[in-house]
Structure 1
Amino acid sequence: MEHFIFALQVQFRGLLQMILVLGIGGSFPYGFHISVINYPSHIRKFINETWIDRHGSPLHPETVMLLWSFIVSVYGIGGFLGSLCCGPFSLPRKKCQMFTNLIMLVAALFMALSKTAKSFEMILVGRFLYGIGSGFSLNIHPQYVGEISPKKLRGFTNSTVAVFLTLGKLTGQVVGLRCLLLYCKIKCIQMFTLFTVR
C-alpha cells in the first residue's frame, strides 16, 4: 500500500511540475503581454528620441500616439494569425509548444535589442512575434495539458490554463506600476488605504 501511495505522489509531482512549466511557457506570457504595455510614456519617449536621432526633429504628438497604438494593437493581430495557423500545423503538440517558445525567444531578442539598435520598429516586430507565439500557445496549451493528465485530474489541469493567464495579467500590471519605481509614493499610500478595514 505504501508503494502505491509513493507511486501516486511521484506521478502527481511530475504532473504538477509539467503544469508549472507549461503554464509559465504557455498561457502566462499571453496574460503578461496583454497588460504590460498599458503605460505608454516610456515607449512614446523612445519613439520620439529615435526619430530625433534619425531626422533631427521631433515627431508630432498625434504621430507618436499612432505609432504607439500600432505597437499595442499588433500583438492582437499576431495572436489572431497565430491562432489561425495553429490548426494546419503538422507538428505534435509537445514540439509545437517548444516551437512557440522559440518564437517568443526571438521576439524577446527583438524587444531587448531595440534600444541598442535605436529602432522602435523592432518593438513592433517583437510584439507581432509575441502575438503569434501567444496565439499558438493559447490553442495548444490546454490540449496538451489535457492529454498528459490522468482522467480524474483533467478538469483541474485544464483550469490551470486560466490561472496562469490571470497570473500573467497580474504580473504585467504590477510590473507596469509606476509606483514601484518610486515616482508617486502618494498613490501607493492611497492604494494601500483602499484595502484597509475601518
Structure 2
Amino acid sequence: MNNFKNMKQLIFTLLIIILFSCNSRAPIDVKQIDSQEAVTILPSLKNPLIKDSLSLSIPIELEIHINSSKVSYITWNYIVNGKSQYDDTFDYQVYNKRNKTHPISNLNANDLSHSRKIINIILKERNHLISKKEAKELLKKYHINRSLDNLKFGDTIKLTTYDKFKKENKEIIKNITKINDSISFKVTRGEKYFFFLDKKINW
C-alpha cells in the first residue's frame, strides 16, 4: 500500500515538474549566426553633405526559434551604446531572410505560421562611419574598381560576405566591438502576455 502511495506521489511530482518546465520555457530563443550577407559601403545617410566619411553597413543575422504556438507578434528595438535607434530608415533596417526586398518592423501572424519554427532576420545597421581613406583601402583589398566620389542616396558598394569580412578585418571589428550594441525583442503571446528578450550583438 505504501509503495502504491509513493508511486502516486512520484508520478504527481513528475507531472508538476513537466508542466512547470513547459510553462516556464521562453516563447522564443534568439541565436546570432555569422551571416553570408554582404558588407557594404554607403554614403553617410544622415548627412549626405559629409564627404570625408562613409557608412560601413554590416549585416547581423539572427535566428529566432519559436518555442510556442501561441506566439502571435514579435517586435524589436535596436540599441547602440545604451540608446534606442528609432529611425529604421537611416539608422538600421531589418529584413526577413525569406524575402529581402522590403524592410520589416515586426513579425506578425503571417510570418509566424505554425509550420515555421525558425525564422531568420537580417539587421543592416548604418551607424558605423569610416574615413574615405579606409574605404579606399577596403575597395583595393577586395579588388573593387569603384569611385567613392559623388556617392548618392541609394548607391551601394558590396565588399564581401560578413563571415569573411569578420576574419579579414579584425581591427575594424575590434573598434566596432568597443560599443555595446544589442537588440531587444518584445513577444506577444495570446492577448495579454508579453515577453521581453535582450540579445547582445557580437560583432
Larger radius of gyration: 2
Structure in which a larger fraction of residues adopt helix: 1
**TM-score (norm. length: structure 2):** 0.29
**TM-score (norm. length: structure 1):** 0.29
